[in-house]
Amino acid sequence: MSSPPRPRPIPPIYRLTLTTIEPVLAVAGALQALLLPHIYTSTMTRGAVPYLAPAQFLYTGLAGGWLLLAFNEAVVLRFNFANDDNPALWRAMAGGMLLSDAATFHSAAQAVGGWAAWVRVGEWEGADWMVFLTTVPFFVVRVMIVLGVGLQGTARRTRRRLDERAKMMIKM
């Protein structure tokens, strides 16, 4: 008789978001940066900045970053799933992705004239909403992963580590 399957430490919504949906969007962004950089530039800057062909190397570098993100999510995190899911790996990778998110959010603000212009949501155009909706949900998922929200066993391990550290401090 087989034992009942144990719960997976990574919730299905996190897995779907970061191993399927976002990698597809990242590859699409990379292709746009490589093949249609003028559209990317126009979308990000509300048409205020023209595409300059001599700057293509910047778009190629941007595409490389997105392809790395897509690979890490679609391959590394899936490989981790096939090998019994390690929440610590998911948390570490999500933390690294948050660094990329910070740069992405700042670049989006720079593209429209700075944070003062970006926070005026009432002035947003369709492209601004598209950028927001293709970045912020994934950012929220990463923050939740880093915080351990919904990860099996994470709260218990964190509490145990804190207890161990407190005991060590008392002994000192």
Query: Tens digits of per-residue pLDDT, 12-57?
Result: 999 999 999 999 999 999 999 999 999 999 999 999 999 999 999 9
pLDDT (mean) for 107-130: 95
In whole angstroms, give the CA distance from residue 9 to residue 97. Answer: 20
First CA to last CA across the chain, in angstroms?
A: 51
Mean pLDDT (the chain) is 90
